[in-house]
Amino acid sequence: MPLPDLHTLNQQVARGETTHEALLDRVLERAARPEAAHTFTRLYPEAARAAARWADASRGAGVPLGPLAGWPVTVKDLYDVTGETTLAGSVIRQGAPVAQADAVAVQRLRSAGAALVGKTAMTEFAFSGVGINPHHGTPANPAWRGAEGQPRIPGGSSSGAAVSVALGLAVAGLGSDTGGSIRIPAALCGLVGFKSTQARTPRDGAFELSRTLDTVCAMTRSVADCIAVDAVLADQPLQVRPRPLQGLRLALPGTLMLDALEPEVAAAFQRALTRLSAGGAHIVEAPLPELAEIAQLNAPGGFSAVEAYAVHQAHFAAERARFDPRVAARIALGEPVSAAQYINLHDRRRGWIGRCRQALAGFDALISPTVPILPSRIEELRASDEAFFRANGLLLRNTFVANYLDGCAFSLPCHAPGEPPVGLMLTAPGGQDARLAAAALAVEAELQRSRH
Instruction: Annotate 246-300 with DSSP letters as a single string.
Output: TT-EEEEESSSTTTT--HHHHHHHHHHHHHHHHTT-EEEEE--GGGGGHHHHT-S
The phi-psi region of residue 149 (left if phi > 0; otherwise alpha if psi is between -120 and 50; otherwise beta) is left
Q: In whole angstroms, give the CA distance from residue 65 to residue 302.
A: 44
- Per residue of the chain (452 residues), what is the pLDDT tens digit? 789 999 999 999 999 999 999 999 999 999 999 999 999 999 999 999 999 999 999 999 999 999 999 999 999 999 999 999 999 999 999 999 999 999 999 999 999 999 999 999 999 999 999 999 999 999 999 999 988 899 999 999 999 999 999 999 999 999 999 999 999 999 999 999 999 999 999 999 999 999 999 999 999 999 999 999 999 999 999 999 999 999 999 999 999 999 999 999 999 999 999 999 999 999 999 999 999 999 999 998 899 999 999 999 999 999 999 999 999 999 999 999 999 999 999 999 999 999 999 999 999 999 999 999 999 999 999 999 999 999 999 999 999 999 999 999 999 999 999 999 999 999 999 999 999 999 999 999 999 987 76
Which one of the listed residues 76, 119, 158, 304 is annotated catalytic? 76
At 237 the three-state DSSP class reads: coil
**157 counts as catalytic:** yes
**222 counts as catalytic:** no
pLDDT on residue 344: 97
Q: Helix 385-404 to helix 325-332 angle, to the nearest 10 degrees?
A: 50
Total residues found in the chain within this entry: 452
User: φ and ψ at 148, to 5 degrees?
Assistant: -85, -10
pLDDT on residue 452: 61
pLDDT on residue 435: 98
The CATH architecture that domain 6-295+335-451 belongs to is: Alpha-Beta Complex (3.90)
**158 counts as catalytic:** no
Cβ neighbour number for residue 173 with a 10 Å cutoff? 33
8 A C-beta contact, residue 106 and residue 229: no
At 408 the three-state DSSP class reads: strand
pLDDT on residue 140: 98
Which one of the listed residues 90, 176, 181, 196 is annotated catalytic? 181
User: φ and ψ at 157, to 5 degrees?
Assistant: -85, -10
pLDDT on residue 1: 75
Bridge partners of residue 424, in order along the sequence: 369, 412
Which one of the listed residues 128, 157, 368, 411 is annotated catalytic? 157
